[in-house]
């Protein structure tokens, strides 16, 4: 029972349900790769299952690693001192075991997909785990986090095609900018704490008002990249409607947050972005299926 309780605590700590952020983009990358792949339904079903396993495993390991890496910082931040490790609800040693388990699952999934996935898996792990330390020395940590999520659709493409082709890199860039944009919004609530403790972020470097402008610029660029990707992949009007839906959600997200009112940051961060990724998958999957 103690093991089950600790496991439940870790899953709550890493918010495993928020795997929805990157997973739909990974599945979209896989769907785009399916066209012309020549793979049969049985083989595709197996690959999609292992892609989901790999995504959940990588995110679980990365989020748990982030909580261990930031435990001392979280302990002195009024907003985060109630998290499981600083609050004493779970130990660092148990969390390290959790990280090792899910890293192993990720490597197994990569092995089951194809040899190129397995060769690149350690690099992918290094990126998603290494992000946790970047805010200690660079304000561009938001982009590193973005890239950690942005490699998901490219990885899914490689899982299907066993190669990397340039169009999918547009989706990697789009997801990178989308994630960096909403992470900037989220980090605004800690800008004073980060400044006092010597941590780096765009809000610390530019101030909250200018940081929100940077976030908007990143999201506008993301929309442009998605339109470019739609054209590059010869998709139809349904994909563009999906891009328009994403754009509308991002406009709403930015309307929730003001430089002098950050009270709705969590709604902007968690709720809206979950809808962004899911709606994107729905519209683009419909377009791909229609073709």
User: How far apart are alpha carbons 79 and 91 in whole angstroms?
Assistant: 20
- Answer yes or no: are the C-beta atoms of 100 and 41 closer than 8 Å: no
Phi, psi of 37 (to 5 degrees): -75, -25
Average pLDDT per run of 10 along the chain, which is 291 residues long? 69 63 92 84 91 94 94 92 89 94 98 97 97 96 96 97 95 97 95 95 97 98 98 96 97 94 83 90 94 66
pLDDT for res 15: 67
- Answer yes or no: are the C-beta atoms of 64 and 14 closer than 8 Å: yes
- Indicate the pTM of the whole model: 0.94
pLDDT for res 270: 77
User: How far apart are alpha carbons 127 and 131 in whole angstroms?
Assistant: 6
pLDDT for res 36: 73
User: How far apart are alpha carbons 179 and 165 in whole angstroms?
Assistant: 22
Assign domain 2-290 to a CATH class. mainly alpha
Mark out the alpha helices in the chain (DSSP H runs).
2-13, 23-34, 41-69, 71-76, 84-87, 92-113, 115-130, 141-161, 166-187, 191-197, 202-206, 208-232, 237-256, 265-266, 273-290
- Answer yes or no: are the C-beta atoms of 191 and 201 closer than 8 Å: yes
User: How far apart are alpha carbons 39 and 29 in whole angstroms?
Assistant: 15
pLDDT for res 290: 82
Environment class of residue 141 by beta-carbon count within 10 Å: exposed (0-12), middle (13-18) or buried (19+)?
buried
User: How far apart are alpha carbons 153 and 52 in whole angstroms?
Assistant: 12
User: How far apart are alpha carbons 210 and 74 in whole angstroms?
Assistant: 26
Please calculate the CA angle 88-92-98 and round it to the nearest 5 degrees.
115
Please calculate the CA angle 263-269-274 and round it to the nearest 5 degrees.
140
Q: What DSSP line would sit under 20-68, residue for residue?
A: GGTHHHHHHHHHHHHTT----HHHHHHHHHHHHHHHHHHHHHHHHHHHH
> Quick count: other Cβ atoms within 10 Å of Cβ 223?
17
- Answer yes or no: are the C-beta atoms of 190 and 77 closer than 8 Å: yes
């Amino acid at each position: 029972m103690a093991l089950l309780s600790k496991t439940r605590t870790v899953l709550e700590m890493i918010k495993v349900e928020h795997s929805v952020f990157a997973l739909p983009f990974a599945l979209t990358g896989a769907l785009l790769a399916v066209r012309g792949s020549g793979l049969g339904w049985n083989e595709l079903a197996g690959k999609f299952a292992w892609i989901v396993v790999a995504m959940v495993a990588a995110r679980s390991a990365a989020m748990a690693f982030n909580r261990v890496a930031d435990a001392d910082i979280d302990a002195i931040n009024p907003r985060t001192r109630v998290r499981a490790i600083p609050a004493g609800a779970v130990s660092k040693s148990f969390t390290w075991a959790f990280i090792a388990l899910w890293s192993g699952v990720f490597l197994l999934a990569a092995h089951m997909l194809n040899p190129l996935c397995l060769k690149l898996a350690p690099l992918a792990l290094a990126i998603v785990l290494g992000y946790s330390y970047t805010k200690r020395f660079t304000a561009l940590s938001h982009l590193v986090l973005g890239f950690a999520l942005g490699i998901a659709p490219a990885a899914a493409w490689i899982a299907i095609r066993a190669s990397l082709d340039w169009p999918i890199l547009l989706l990697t860039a789009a997801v990178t900018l989308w994630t960096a944009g909403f992470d900037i919004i989220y980090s605004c609530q800690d800008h004073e704490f980060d400044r006092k403790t010597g941590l780096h972020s765009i809000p610390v470097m530019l101030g909250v008002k200018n940081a929100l402008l940077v976030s908007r610029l990143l999201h506008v660029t993301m929309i442009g990249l998605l339109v470019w990707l739609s054209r590059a992949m010869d998709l139809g009007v349904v994909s563009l409607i999906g891009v328009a839906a994403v754009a509308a959600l991002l406009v709403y997200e930015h309307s929730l947050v003001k430089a002098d009112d950050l009270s709705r940051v969590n709604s902007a961060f968690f709720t809206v972005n979950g809808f962004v990724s899911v709606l994107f998958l729905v519209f683009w999957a419909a377009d791909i299926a229609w073709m």
